[in-house]
Structure formats: C-alpha cells, structure tokens
Chains A and B, each alone.
Chain A
C-alpha cells in the first residue's frame, strides 16, 4: 500500500484551519470560558509533566480508561462472535429466544450504571458496562453476516465431502469476517462512549472521565478539553488499527472500506 501524500497534506491543512478559526474565535470573545488552542497545549504539557491535582499522570488516566475498554471490548467480541455464529446458523434458536435477547439491545449501557454501581466495583464494573456496549454490535453483525453465506459456496465444500466443522471454518467464517470486523469498529465506538460516562459516574480515581470531572469542579476548562481531545485521539487510533487489520485481512474484497 502506498502512502498517499495528498490526503495527508489536505488533512493537515484542515487541522490548521480548524485551529486558526478556534484561535480567532477565542481572541474575539476574550473570555476564560473560551480558551484558545495554545492554552489547551499548555494545559496538556502541564498535565503530561506533573500530573493532575493529585499528581496522577495523564498516562495513568489514559491507560486506566484504555485498559477498561479493551477488557470489556474483548469480552464483547469473545461472546458476541460465537453467539452470533450459533444463532445465525441455527435460526430457530434465535427465533425462539429473540424476545429475550432483542429488548436488551435497546437498554443503553449507561442505563445499567446504577445497577453496576450496586453489584460491581473497580475493573469489573467498567468492564461489564463496556461489554454491554460492545456485545450487541458484534453479535448483531455476525448474526446478519451468517445469512449472507451463499448456498453454492457451502455446496462447493459439501460436494467434496467436507465436514460441518470445515464448512464453518472455511466457508462461513471467511464470509462473515468482514461483518464481524465492521461490528467490532462500531463496538469500539460504543465502548468509548460508555467508558467516559461510566467514569463520570464515579467510583474511581483514575481514568480520563474521572480526570475531566475533577477539573470540571475546579472550572478548569483547558484541562477538560485536553481530556476530550485525548478520548477522541485514542478512539481514532483504535479505529485506524481496526481498519488496518481489515485492509490486511480483506485484500480479496472488491469493496473498499471507507
């Protein structure tokens, strides 16, 4: 894959324009409630060098959030994919249990926070909430993907005497993998949405959400924005990693992932 310079240059230009507009707006308003980009950079350097008011470093906050997300996300994928495959292949299992499963999908993970506060503390609480956010995108896209497996592809294997396991691993999984990856990207987005909300609900001293809440009480807007930007950046990087995995795995695909 050749790295294309033109889009990179255009994106850098967009960023510069964004920062310039922001700076101009801040200068025009001239209020401490509208900090300029440079102040955000300064707040970032302060946080990076000496940590927050309790001396907890920015990296510990970031890693705490990232770690919780990764644990919950992994749990969501590890349960969502096999369950999606199972219910996709045995449609009657899904048909029989649909009324139990589907309503859960519409309970946002945030709505589970009060229960999670009662039943769990520490990592399990956050992992549980993230899991709820990550499970359904993966489960649903796997379930839908299985329906796309073409009968003729199954027959290709069956005519040669392939076992059910062979059909599953060599026909069904390769067909569904693009859907699973797409579900994982949605799940990753949902996981980030959930982690910040869960951390804002308290019960922890670490995490980007927690850090932002601390500075919110101190009315320190630049530090809050540093937290927001870091959340956006980490989410962006995770998504890019998944995209790279997708491009590597699915070079056989005609469709280009956007």
Chain B
C-alpha cells in the first residue's frame, strides 16, 4: 500500500476536549419482534471527530445507521444531536450509502446540490457551495455529466460530495468504498480525509475493513454479533498522515483484528444471522 506517499502535511485535526458534551450521543437498544439486534449500544461522538465502527457481518449495522440518521426509531433509547433527538427535518444529516446512490436523471452538479435544495438554501449559496465541493473532490469539468457517463469511483465521489455539500451536523458513511477496486479505494480514503480536513464534520464511518478503520478513524468502536453491543472503544492516537506499514499502525490493527476474532469465536453461529 502506498497511502502515505502522496499525503500533504496536514495537521492532525483536534477533537473537541473530551469533557465537553459530545456532539452526538447514542444510547439505544433495538429488536425486531423476538430478535434482539442491539443491546445497550452506547457511545458519544465529539464534534469534528472521525469515528469508525467495525463489527462482524450480521451485527445490524444497516439498522444502526437507519437509527442514527433518524429514519428508524429504536425500540429503547434515543440518538441525540446537540442534545436534541436526531431528526432529518431538523438536523443536517448526510449519508454516503454503500450501494450506488447517485440519482441517474440528474447531472453531477444537480446530484451534489440535492441536499442543499431539499434544505431550501438560497440558490446563490447553493451555487457557491457546490462549486467549492466540486473542486475539493476533483470533479471539475464533469458538472454536466450524467452518472452513467462517469466511472464507479467518480459516482461515489459525487455521493461523498453531496454528503459534504451541506453543513452536516453528522455525516454517516456506510462502507462507501466496498465496491471499489483496491487502488481506487485507497485514493478515496485519502480524499475523504482531505475533505474532512477542509470541511470539518462529525463522521461515523462503518466498515468491515479494520485497516481502513485504523487508517481513517480518531477512534474505532468494535461491535459484537447480534445482539450487538460495544466490545471495545479504541482511540487511534497515530499521527496523521498515517503510514499503514509503520510498526504502531500494524500493532493497533492487529489488536483490533484480535478483538474482532474473539467476537467471532464468542458469537459462534449467531454471527451469521441476517
């Protein structure tokens, strides 16, 4: 992997001081009928923090994301943003989906402007913000293209740009790079870090890939299989830009891998539940 080579010397973003009230507070349990999905999942995210969540498949991550963005009410508990119950109509929440989510009938420009238009921003402001984010994600020149005319990696960049175009209180990312090939994936990881460093946001990034989690996150939370609860909450204090080949990186990654392996062993058959 050649991740570290092309990184500019960006300063490490400093999360808000630990004792202040978190930007996002999560304390939920959820069940579908008799099936317990989440059992006391409880964590906070500081403003402008980059949190990664990893877990075995079948840990109910899609459900967790639906709850986090306020589209699904948890059976017990709540998600608070700035002390208020998370609500898509009140808060600025963005979502980068795992599957292709660009709207095929809109141009790159209009796709990116979607969130701002729904939030009824003034047109002039929309133009300025879309133009700005298009520069950041290197889509200049492609504004008038339709999604079918650009590559899969570019489409995902459009989705990321759409998510960062609004002044989002919270950006949720659901394995956004899982369908991309390895070189594209590495480039996109770096791009997300660059965007995050330019447009400060609070991010919750879900992934199965622990290397990705350790490379991106200020913190990595590891979930168990269903009923999911938090197994470990690991601060990643590595200097950015991070070198995935460094001894510290490798050690942290190995630590996370062992934790996840224990979850698999303990979880047994339950880990394969849908």
Contact = CB atoms under 8 A, between A and B. Distances in A.
Interface of A: 152-153, 155-162, 166, 171, 174-175, 177, 250-254
Given A153-B101, A252-B104, A161 B71 contact: no
A162 B114 CA distance: 10
Interface string B195-239: 000000000000000000000000000000000000000000000
B94 A174 contact: no
B145 to A, nearest CB: 10
B164 interface: no
A159 B87 CA distance: 9
B93 to A, nearest CB: 6
Interface hub of B99, B114, B147 (most chain A Cβ within 10 A): B114
Interface residues on B, range: 20 to 34
A251 B87 CA distance: 36
A162 B119 CA distance: 8
Contacts of A252: 104-107, 146-148
Contacts of B89: 161
B148 to A, nearest CB: 4
A253 B148 contact: yes
A160 to B, nearest CB: 4
Interface hub of B90, B104, B147 (most chain A Cβ within 10 A): B104
Contacts of A153: 101, 103
13 contacts: A155-B97, A156-B103, A157-B118, A159-B69, A159-B88, A159-B93, A159-B94, A159-B95, A160-B94, A161-B88, A162-B118, A174-B103, A177-B105
B115 interface: yes
Contact of B99 (A152, A159, A160): A152
Interface string B14-25: 000000000000
Nearest to A159: B95
A177 B103 CA distance: 14
Nearest to A255: B148
A58 to B, nearest CB: 42
A160 B119 contact: yes
A156 B113 CA distance: 12
B166 interface: yes
A250 B104 CA distance: 10
Contacts of A251: 146
Contacts of B162: 156
Contacts of A162: 118
A159 B119 CA distance: 11
Contact of A159 (B71, B103, B148): B71
Contacts of A158: 71, 88
Contacts of A155: 71, 95, 97, 101
Contact of B105 (A159, A160, A166, A174): A174
A173 to B, nearest CB: 10
A202 B89 CA distance: 60
Contacts of B88: 158-161
A252 B146 CA distance: 6
Interface in B79-100: 87-90, 93-95, 97, 99-100
Interface string B47-83: 0000000000000000000000101000000000000
A143 B94 CA distance: 31
A156 B104 contact: no
B118 A160 contact: yes
A178 B100 CA distance: 20
Interface hub of A153, A158, A160 (most chain B Cβ within 10 A): A160
Interface in B222-262: none
Contacts of A157: 114, 118
A249 to B, nearest CB: 9
A156 B95 CA distance: 7
A152 B102 CA distance: 9
Contacts of B69: 159
Contacts of B148: 252-254
A159 B86 CA distance: 11
B92 to A, nearest CB: 8
Nearest to A175: B105
